[in-house]
Amino acid sequence: MSPPSSSPSADGYPAPRLGSLVYYAVLMVTFLAASSAPTPLYRIYQTSWHFSTTWLTLVFASYVFALLLALLVTGSLSDYIGRRPVVAIAIVGEILSLLLFVVADGLAWVLAARILQGVATGIVTSALAAAMLDSDHTRGPVLASIAPLSGMGIGALFAGLLVTYAPAPMRTVYLVLIVLLVVMGVCLRRIPESVTPRPGALAALRPRATIPPSVRGPLFRVIPAVVSSWALGGFSLSLGPTLVETISGVHNPLVGCLITFLLPFIGGISVLVLRARPPRLAVLLGTACLIVGMFGLLLGVHQRAVGILLVGTAIAGIGFGAAFMGAMRVVMPLAPPTERSALMAAFYVICYLSASTLALGGGIMTQHLGLIPTTYAYGSLVALLSLAAFFGTLTQRPPESEPRAQCTNPA
């Protein structure tokens, strides 16, 4: 007997499924935790295998570029073949990437593992976000905002602990994640499918990111907020641990990953606290906190004070979460049911492209100018983008008519 499908009701959404929502949220946390798990190890890799900071950021960027390509190719695939098959493929790919990390003995192995990990995460990202919206259209968008942020933070802290205190620091964290993913893969069999398969899957594999016409206006209004927040996220995941160790003088993976943990984890908490606020207010608050947080972070760098740097990071984390959630809540509910996954692919393309290209540029600048001057330049750019997003949102009339317009759309 086939499970109930997501045949749209009058409002285009099925009845809430709490069990499915929790499963997909936990799985997204696991995937994003795996994505940040190598971060505390970057300095160990760099010391052991003697490669430059540019190559360090390229390792991070290779993951993101692979993720983007997978999003563009498979972003709408789950709208055609179902959420569960896409999720199952991604789990297998993620496990294989973690096995490559386990056997890695050089930079080439880590690059290959990060690329495969990026492909697996790209395949699953939009499918999981769409599956959460399918499971509960009210709580789904909130959890789709919280899960990636909390996952990145938890993954960095968890990896830092294992790298610092567990035996075999270059392998233990990956083995633990493999076990978790195997368990999640077994549990997938009990999750009902929310999409009725339909023809067109092969055609949907053409590289593309689809933004439905009804979503374009709201999406373009929030793009500056998305770019500024994810640019900061890319910096913290690639160069953040090196910056903390340089400022503090303490060469400890757990200390180094504090910035990588704080930014997304505090962002997840801000999403939870602000979830009932209007999306426009969340974007305004988020961009304001990004500006203040960047000032604090740069002041900490200037004063060589790790405490000030981390407080600034925490404030920026509030902005990261609020801006990301506000932007997602503006656009996600506006997509027709058959285009949700493709829209999420486009949304995450913007997020990850912002993180990867600017972080890679930061790595190249570090090689030529040094880490501290690069941090000043990078932080100033994030603050200016946030300032532009703040005033752009402030001067826009609240889009109160857009939900009503969507309700009357015959599509």
Q: Is the pLDDT assigned to residue 403 strictly greater than 70? A: no
Give the structural domain span for 335.
18-197+210-396
Residue 9 CB: number of other CB atoms within 10 A?
Answer: 10
Is residue 1 situated within a structural domain?
no
Q: Does residue 403 form part of some domain? A: no
| Region 36-53 average pLDDT | 85
Domain for residue 100, yes or no? yes
Residues with Cβ within 8 Å of residue 247, at least 6 apart in sequence = 300, 301, 304, 305, 306, 309
Q: Which tens digits make up the pLDDT trace of 378-393?
A: 999 999 989 988 887 7
Please work out, in degrees rounded to the nearest 5, the angle formed at the alpha carbon of residue 113 by the alpha carbons of 108 and 119. Answer: 130
CA 347 to chain centre: 11
Q: Which helix (H) or strand (E) holds 44?
A: helix 42-49
Tokens 């190890």: give the residue: 41
Residues 6 or more apart whose Cβ sits within 8 Å of residue 127: 77, 78, 83, 86, 87, 90, 341
Q: Residue 272 domain-assigned?
A: yes
Residue 6 pLDDT level (bands cut at 50, 70, 90): very low
User: Using only C-alpha atoms, what is the Rg of the chain?
Assistant: 20
21 token code pair: 């929502």
Residue 220 covered by a domain: yes
pLDDT for residue 2 is more than 70? no
Residues 256-313 pLDDT 10s: 888 888 888 898 888 888 877 888 888 899 999 999 999 999 999 999 999 999 999 9
Dihedral (CA of 401, 407, 408, 411) sign: positive
Relative orientation angle of helices 140-165 and 107-135, to the nearest 10 degrees: 150
CATH number at residue 251: 1.20.1250.20
Is 407 a domain residue? no
Number of domains in the chain: 1
In a domain, 406, yes or no: no
Phi-psi category of 82—alpha, beta or left, where left has phi over 0 and alpha has psi -120 to 50? left
Q: Is residue 343 part of a domain?
A: yes
pTM: 0.77
In this prediction, residue 410 carries a pLDDT of 30
